[in-house]
């Protein structure tokens, strides 16, 4: 079998001449198989003048905490400014883009609407469109396989930086495919040039190719975490720990007051057999309940992919609410009108129906027609075969 190559390796396999002034939009993940970073390759290449770096949430080194503003900095090795797009600015201004011939985007994503790197991608595309600058995308795989599409569409009134595009929670596209879709959807005229992954196909059997996993954020340590993330991230909108600060974020969920045995017994009965639920005890090293002992459940699977990850997350929360009536609190965040879970889901219907005791399968079925419509529309922008 031919070896998989991400867009960055395909890009640097080509011959580039002249001198192009570029800005990199990247973070810790913008690396080749051997770990060499995009910034290093650009800075040392005779055909490119690296003018600046733009970084998303979690910063250039991908280690800033969830939701924490990141300040501008400087790349010491190459004397290049690092402009944060998760601080006072979330979109590059015309002034920031002066003197740049091309924006080069290379970030490993996780295929979920509320993972904010695609919000940064949207802002980059719009800024480039407004200023007549091409965007070059060095593509990377969809770690969730690129097949399944699920979860509610983003509804009017629930737009935020964790819901910046009118797509389902799990949208089944690579970064470049999503960029091409958004260009058409928004009627942008920006020039997008894509360096596709080589020897890659989207698949439920082998969702992430034989390639190192460079951690895109502090609580995304491996691809197993990514498989459950589309659903269990909704616990960010509750007072429970979603496992941040543990060895299994988004797979360990709990709180000091939880009756883990009661929850586990109920939950295992309503989840597919390939997902195993165990009781656990954990002490988060940061985030909610830092330093406190939490009782909860842990999720694992031997399957290569969690096909209904969003519904799984909703089922985990449904089960907790059924076994701990009146205990779950839906928390808000500063500046947001609705509880935070509504922005993660892109609608308030999931929360409201859970409070009414509606079963997860019914909740998901009620959004299925809109999700399936998007699943069909996205096919026009596929760059890779699916199986």
Do 163 and 224 form a contact (C-beta atoms < 8 A)? no
Q: How far apart are CA 319 and CA 57, in angstroms?
A: 32
- In this structure, are 17 and 132 located in the same domain? yes
Question: Residue 138 domain-assigned?
Answer: yes
- Least Cα distance to 298 among 350, 241, 238, 219 occurs for 241
Domain range enclosing 245: 223-355
The answer to whether residues 55 and 106 touch, using CB atoms and an 8 Å cutoff, is no
Tokens of 183: 């260009």
Q: Dihedral of the CA atoms 181, 184, 186, 190 (nearest 10)?
A: 100
Q: Same structural domain for residues 212 and 241?
A: no
Q: Are residues 175 and 209 in the same domain?
A: yes
CA dihedral 229, 232, 238, 243 (to 10 degrees): -70
Instruction: Using DSSP, state whether 223 is helix, strand or coil.
Output: helix
Specify whether 118 is located in the same domain as 212.
Answer: yes
**Residue 360 near residue 349, CB atoms below 8 Å:** no
For residue 266, tell me if it sits in a domain.
yes
Note whether residue 371 is domain-resident.
no
CATH classification of the domain holding 277: 3.90.1150.140
Q: Nearest-CA neighbor of 3 among 33, 36, 41, 38?
A: 33
Kindly state whether residues 261 and 162 are assigned to the same domain: no
- The verdict on 232 and 102 lying in the same domain is no
| Statement to judge: residues 324 and 286 lie in one domain | yes
In tens digits, what is the pLDDT along the chain, a chain of 387 residues? 789 999 999 999 999 999 999 999 999 999 999 999 999 999 999 999 999 999 999 999 999 999 999 999 999 999 999 999 999 999 999 999 999 999 999 999 999 999 999 999 999 999 999 999 999 999 999 999 999 999 999 999 999 999 999 999 999 999 999 999 999 999 999 999 999 999 999 999 999 999 999 999 999 999 999 999 999 999 999 999 999 999 999 999 999 999 999 999 999 999 999 999 999 999 999 999 999 999 999 999 999 999 999 999 999 999 999 999 999 999 999 999 999 999 999 999 999 999 999 999 999 999 999 999 999 999 999 999 998
Q: Given CA atoms 216, 220, 223, 227 in this order, what sign does their dihedral have?
A: negative
pTM: 0.97
Number of domains composing the chain: 2
Sheet holding 192-195, edge to edge: 73-75, 80-84, 48-55, 20-26, 102-106, 135-138, 192-195
């Amino acid at each position: 079998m031919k070896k998989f190559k991400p867009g960055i390796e395909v890009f640097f396999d080509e011959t580039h001449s002249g001198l192009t002034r570029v800005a990199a939009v990247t973070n810790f993940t913008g690396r080749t198989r051997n770990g060499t970073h995009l910034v290093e390759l650009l800075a040392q290449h005779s055909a490119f003048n690296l003018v600046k770096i733009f970084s998303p949430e979690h910063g250039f080194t991908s280690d800033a905490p969830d939701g924490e503003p990141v300040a501008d900095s400087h790349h010491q090795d190459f004397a290049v400014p690092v402009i944060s797009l998760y601080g006072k600015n979330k979109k590059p201004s015309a002034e920031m883009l002066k003197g740049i011939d091309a924006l080069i985007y290379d970030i490993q994503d996780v295929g979920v609407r509320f993972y904010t790197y695609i919000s940064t991608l949207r802002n980059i595309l719009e800024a480039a469109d407004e200023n007549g600058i091409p965007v070059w995308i060095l593509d990377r795989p969809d770690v969730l396989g690129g097949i399944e599409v699920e979860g509610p569409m983003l509804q009017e009134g629930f737009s935020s930086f964790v819901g910046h595009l009118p797509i389902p929670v799990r949208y089944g596209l690579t970064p470049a495919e999503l960029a091409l879709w958004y260009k058409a959807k928004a009627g942008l005229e920006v020039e997008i040039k894509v360096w596709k992954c080589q020897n890659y196909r989207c698949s439920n059997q082998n969702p992430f190719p034989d390639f190192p996993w460079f951690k895109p954020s502090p609580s995304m340590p491996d691809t197993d975490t990514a498989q459950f993330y589309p659903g269990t991230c909704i616990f960010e909108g509750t007072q429970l720990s979603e496992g941040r600060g543990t060895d299994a974020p988004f797979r360990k969920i709990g709180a000091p007051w939880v009756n883990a045995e009661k929850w586990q017994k109920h939950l295992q009965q309503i989840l597919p057999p390939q997902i195993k639920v165990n009781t656990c005890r954990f002490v988060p090293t940061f985030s909610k309940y830092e330093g406190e002992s939490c009782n909860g459940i842990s999720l694992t699977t031997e399957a290569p992919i969690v096909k209904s990850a969003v519904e799984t997350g909703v089922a985990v929360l449904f089960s907790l609410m059924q076994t701990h009536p009146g205990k779950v609190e839906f928390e808000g965040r500063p500046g947001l009108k609705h509880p935070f879970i509504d922005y993660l889901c892109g609608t308030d219907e999931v929360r409201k129906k859970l409070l009414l005791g509606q079963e997860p399968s019914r909740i998901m079925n009620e959004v299925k027609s809109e999700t399936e419509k998007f699943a069909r529309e996205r096919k026009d922008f596929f760059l890779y075969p699916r199986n």
